[in-house]
Amino acid sequence: MEDGELEIYHCLKLEKQAYWDFPLQIFEEIIHGFALAFFDALMFVVLVHSNSYDAFYLSCGAMYLIACIALLLLVAAINSLYAALGSPLLPGWIASGGDPCAEAWQGVQCNGSDIMSIVLNGANLGGQLGDNLGMFASIKAIDLSNNQIGGNIPSNLPVTMQNFFLSANQFSGSIPDSLSSLTMLTDMSLNNNNLSGEIPDAFQSLSGLINL
C-alpha cells in the first residue's frame, strides 16, 4: 500500500471486559444503566494506517457510534420486554444480550438488524409490558393478543407503530393519552381487557386509524 493509504481490516472484537474505555463510557451514559454486558462482543472497524510508523487506529466515527448505540438500545429493549413478561419459555428469547434478528427469536420479524414486528398471539404470556417499548425505534406491529398479560398499557410506546393488538388480556387502568403520538397507527385492538375510564380525546388526532 502507498503511504497514508487506509486498509480496512474486518473487525476487532471488544469483549465484555473491553480494552477501550472511551466508547463504553459513552454507551453506558446514553443507555442509562443498560450495561455493555448485554453483548458477548461488539464489532468495530479497524483502520490500519500503513505509514512509516505502522500505527494502528480504531475508527468509531459518528455513523458507527450511532449504529452501535441503536443496536444497544434495541437489544436492551427486547431483553427488558422479556423480563417484564416474566421470562416465558419462548424459543430464542433470553434476558440478557443475544441477537433477536440473526437468531430468529420466536415471533420477531426483522429487516436487517431492525425489529419490524413482534407477533406472539396466544403464546401463553403473563407478566406486564414494562416501560421500555418506546425504545423500539423501527417497529411497525406489536400483536400480543390472547394472552394473560396484565398491568397498565404503558404510556411510552413506539411512535413508528402501525398495528397494535392487545385484545383478550388482563390489562387494567385507563387508555393512555400518549396514544396521540402514534400518528402512523392504522389498526388497534384493546377489547376484552379490564380497562376503565373513557376513551381519551387523543383518538381524535389519529386520522389514519381505520380499525379500532
Report yes or no on whether pTM surpasses 0.85: no
pLDDT tens for each residue of 84-121: 999 999 999 988 888 898 888 999 999 988 899 999 99
Amino acid at 21: D
Q: What is the pLDDT of residue 192?
A: 92
- The answer to whether 143 and 118 have CB atoms below 8 angstroms apart is yes
pLDDT tens for each residue of 147-181: 999 999 998 899 899 999 999 999 999 888 888 78
Q: What is the pLDDT of residue 170?
A: 95
Q: What is the pLDDT of residue 31?
A: 42
Of 206, 73, 47, give the one whose Cα is nearest residue 132. 73
Residue 12 has pLDDT above 90, yes or no: no
Cβ neighbours around 94 below 10 Å, total? 17
Edge to edge, what strands does the sheet with 6-15 contain? 6-15, 41-49, 56-58
Give me the half-sphere count of Cα atoms (radius 13 Å) on the Cβ side of residue 152.
Answer: 12
Domains of the chain, CATH where assigned: 6-60 (no CATH), 90-205 (3.80.10.10)
Q: How confident is the model at residue 46 (pLDDT cuts 50, 70, 90)?
A: very low
Q: What is the pLDDT of residue 34?
A: 38
**Cα torsion angle, 86, 91, 97, 99, sign:** negative
